[in-house]
């Protein structure tokens, strides 16, 4: 089967500096990938490049076998969704209006809202425990609620590939585990796939079965979770000693 996302010999640069050199990565359906690396290592740049916001001029990025740079925006948006680090509250809007925007790549009518789209948006609000907040203005919400609204919008978009940029921002531990657990179930129901950039090694260890670990000098390691998340690799990637302990079926990584 064709991978959802296939990256071949991609090199990412910012100005003259090489962030990631010669990246090869295939994300198949039902796979969840974590993207780890230091600040400025290129995690966000990579996600933005995959979604077509940032241009690339070496290598290839294919979504369902089609090159991203030649995809129509509306087609790409129906296949790939992203949770940005930045907020979504520039001009006023309610929670429901915002979540409904996730249907934008799919809507048919110029003026009318399809009842099915409304139902999908309401379902996402229920899933993220936002029911009752539908008519609230976004700018009156707490940081955690806004992050949940953004996640609800992404779920409403129903892409095949979910890109998350720091999904745990503003979320307390209970919400992190609950929301990512929900997303995990959702992804396996839809046979979708996930690529998640995060600073939280333990969150990636818990929710991702595969890891891309960005190292210095544009190098990277990729592969199954347990193979990549070792004390040696992490210490090298973060330039800081990292230790791991196992307890109650989890492996925890912490700076030493």
Partner 1 sequence: MILSKHLLLLGFLVIITGASVLLSLLSGSVELSFLQLVGELFRPQDRLEYQVLWEIRIPRTLAAFTTGGLLALSGVIMQVLLRNPLADPYILGISGGSAVGALSAILLGLNSFWLNNAAFAGALFSIFLVFGIANKFGRWSVTRLLLTGVVVSAGWGAVINILLTTSSTNNVQSMLFWLMGDLSQSTVGLKHGLLLLVAVLGGLYVARSLNVLARGELVATSLGVNIDALRLLLYFAASIFTATAVTIAGSVGFVGLVIPHALRMLGARDHRILLPYSILLGGSFLVIADSLARTLIAPQQLPVGVVTAIIGVPSFIIILRSTITK
The conformation of residue 105, written as its DSSP 8-state character, comes to T
In sequence order, the 6+-apart residues with CB closer than 8 A to the CB of 216 are 236, 237, 239
Among 97, 190, 215, 221, binds partner 1 (CB under 8 A): 97
Beta carbon nearer to partner 1, 100 or 228:
100
3-state secondary structure of 111: coil
Q: Is 112 in the site for partner 1 (CB under 8 A)?
A: yes
110 touching partner 1, by CB under 8 A: yes
Q: Beta-strand (E) ranges in the chain?
A: 5-14, 17-27, 32-36, 60-63, 66-67, 80-83, 161-165, 193-197, 210-214, 220-224, 242-247, 250-255
Site size toward partner 1, by CB under 8 A: 35
Q: Tell the burial category of 226 from Cβ atoms under 10 Å away from its Cβ (0-12, 13-18, 19+).
A: exposed
Q: Does 248 bind partner 1 (CB under 8 A)?
A: no
Report the residue from 1, 91, 173, 247 that binds partner 1 according to the rule CB under 8 A. Answer: 91
88 binds partner 1 (CB under 8 A): yes
Q: Does 35 bind partner 1 (CB under 8 A)?
A: no
Closer residue to partner 1 in complex, CB, 80/171:
80
Contact characters 55-74, partner 1, x per CB under 8 A: ------------------xx
Selected binder of partner 1 within 1, 15, 65, 90 (CB under 8 A):
90
> Can you tell me which of 42, 81, 167, 218 binds partner 1, judged by CB under 8 A?
81
- In whole angstroms, give the CA distance from residue 138 to residue 231: 41
SS3 of residue 130 by DSSP: coil
Residue 14 interacts with partner 1 (CB under 8 A)? Answer: no
> What sign for the dihedral angle of Cα 138, 177, 198, 51?
negative
Query: What is the Cα–Cα distance from 94 to 138, expressed in whole angstroms?
Result: 6
Residue 15 binding partner 1, by CB under 8 A: no
- Nearer to partner 1 by Cβ, of 88 and 190: the residue is 88
Binders of partner 1 among residues 144 to 183 (CB under 8 A) are 157
Tokens for 14?
Answer: 């910012």
By CB under 8 A, name the binding residues for partner 1. 51-53, 73-78, 80-82, 84, 86, 88-94, 97-98, 101-102, 104-105, 107, 110-113, 115, 118, 157
């Amino acid at each position: 089967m064709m991978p959802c996302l296939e990256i071949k010999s991609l090199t990412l640069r910012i100005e003259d500096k090489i962030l990631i050199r010669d990246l090869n990565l295939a994300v198949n359906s039902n796979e969840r990938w974590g993207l780890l690396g230091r600040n400025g290592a290129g995690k966000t740049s990579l996600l933005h490049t995959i979604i077509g916001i940032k241009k690339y001029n070496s290598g290839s990025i294919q979504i369902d076998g089609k090159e991203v740079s030649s995809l129509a925006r509306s087609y790409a948006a129906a296949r790939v969704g992203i949770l940005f680090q930045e907020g979504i509250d520039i001009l006023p809007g309610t929670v429901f209006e915002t979540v409904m925007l996730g249907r934008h790549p799919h809507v048919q009518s110029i003026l009318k809202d399809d009842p099915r789209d409304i139902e999908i948006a309401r379902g996402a609000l229920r899933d993220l425990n936002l029911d009752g907040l539908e008519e609230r203005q976004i700018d009156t919400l707490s940081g955690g609620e806004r992050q949940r609204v953004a996640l609800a919008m992404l779920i409403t978009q129903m892409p095949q590939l979910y890109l998350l940029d720091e999904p745990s921002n503003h979320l307390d531990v209970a919400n992190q585990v609950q929301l990512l657990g929900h997303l995990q179930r959702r992804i396996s129901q839809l046979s979708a796939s996930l690529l998640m950039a995060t600073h939280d090694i333990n969150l990636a260890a818990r929710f991702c079965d595969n890891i891309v670990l960005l190292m210095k000098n544009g190098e990277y390691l990729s592969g199954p979770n347990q193979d990549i998340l070792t004390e040696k690799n992490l210490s090298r990637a973060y330039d800081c000693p990292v230790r791991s302990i196992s307890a109650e079926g989890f492996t925890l990584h912490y700076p030493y």
